[in-house]
Amino acid sequence: MKRSNRLVLLVGLFLAVVAFVGVFILLSGNPSNTGPGNEQKTPTVFATKDIPLGVTVTADMVRTDAEWPTDQRAADAFSDSSLVIGQVARRNISTGAQLTSADFASGTGLTSITCPPTLRCISVQVDQVSGVGTLIQAGDFVDMLVGFTADKFPVVTVNPTDNTITPITGLNATTVKLLLQGLQVQGVLLPPVATDQNQNQNNGSTSQPATNLNGQQEIVIVSASAQQAEVIKYAQMDGAISLVLRSAKDFQDPNDPTQPVTPIPDVTTGIILKTLVDEYGVLVPQVVEAILPGQ
C-alpha cells in the first residue's frame, strides 16, 4: 500500500513539472515559435511611387506598413514615415521599395555608379572655394563656371608689310563664362577627413574640430551629353572650374515633384575686364603725378 502511494505521488509530481514547463514556455513567448500567426512584426516604410534621384520626399510618396514581418525587413529600414518626409533621395527609389538610410546617404563611399540612359558621367574635381564648400551631394543640380587667364589668350599684331607677328604683352585678357547649366550630380567622392593628432590630447576629448578652410577636395560626378562632356574636358585642361549649386525645385514639376522639367537656360554675357568697367562701374586706375619738393 505504501509503495502504491509513492508511485501516485511520483506520477503527480512529474505531471506538475510538465505543466509548469508548459505554462512557462507559453508565458515567456518563446522566440523559436515561428508558426503561422506568431511572426514578429515591425513597422516599415515603403515608397508608394517612384522617387527619382534628387527629389524631396513628401507624405504622398510613402506609406507605413505596421504589420511587416521583421525577418523580411532591411536592417536599415525606417519604421516611421515622418523620419523620411523632407529628406532628399540620393538615389532612385522604386515603387514598393522599403526606404532605408542608404537611400538618403550622401554617397561619399560609393563603389559604383549608374549613369542615366543616353548620358555620360564625368567627374569634376573641386575644393571648398570652387565646390560650394564641398557640400555638393548626389541628386543636386549644378551649373559650371569656367575662367581663363590672360596667358590662354595670346594677342598678337601682324605687320601688313612683311606679315611678321608681334605678341602684345601686358594685356589683361582674363575671361569668365557660365558654360553649362543644369547638370545633375550622380555621386560624389570625398577623401578621408584629416584629423589633428595633437587635438585635445590634454583633456582626452573626442569632439569634432570646427569647420575651417583646410583645402578639402571633392570629386563631383555629373551626367552630361556628349557635347557637354567635351566642353567639360576642355575647361578642365585650360581653365579654372567652379560649380554653382542650383535649387532642385527648378527641375521639378511644382504639381508633381517626381516629374522632371528642364528650365530654360539663363542667357549670360560672360565677363571680361572691360565689361566690369563699362557695365558694373569698376574704376580704372589713374596715374597720379606727384611733384616732389625741390623740382
Residue 123, CB-side half-sphere exposure with 13 Å CA sphere: 9
* Signed CA dihedral, 29, 32, 35, 41: sign only: positive
pLDDT confidence of residue 203: 46
Instruction: Output Rg (C-alpha) for the chain, integer angstroms.
Output: 34
Closest CA to 235 of 121, 147, 119: 147
CB 138 within 8 Å of CB 107: yes
Q: Which three cell numbers stand for residue 139?
A: 541628386
* pLDDT of amino acid 166: 77
Q: How far apart, in whole angstroms, are the C-alpha atoms of residue 115 and residue 229?
A: 13
Q: DSSP letter string over 86-122? A: TPBPSS-B-TTPBPBGGGGS--TT-S---PPTT-EEE
**Consecutive H or E run containing 182:** strand 175-189
In this structure, the strands spanning 217-224 and 240-246 are: unpaired
Question: Where in the chain are the domains?
Answer: 38-105, 120-192+215-280
Q: How many whole angstroms separate alpha carbon 106 and alpha carbon 81? A: 20
* Phi, then psi, of 12 in degrees rounded to 5: -65, -40
C-alpha cell at 153: 589668350
Cross-strand pairs, 113? none
The mean pLDDT values, 10 residues at a time, for the chain of 295 residues are 60 67 59 59 94 92 93 92 93 94 78 88 95 93 92 77 77 86 93 53 47 81 96 93 94 90 93 91 84 70
Question: What is the structure's pLDDT at 194?
Answer: 57
Residue where the block lists cell 558621367: 121
Report the CATH number of the 38-105 domain.
3.90.1210.10
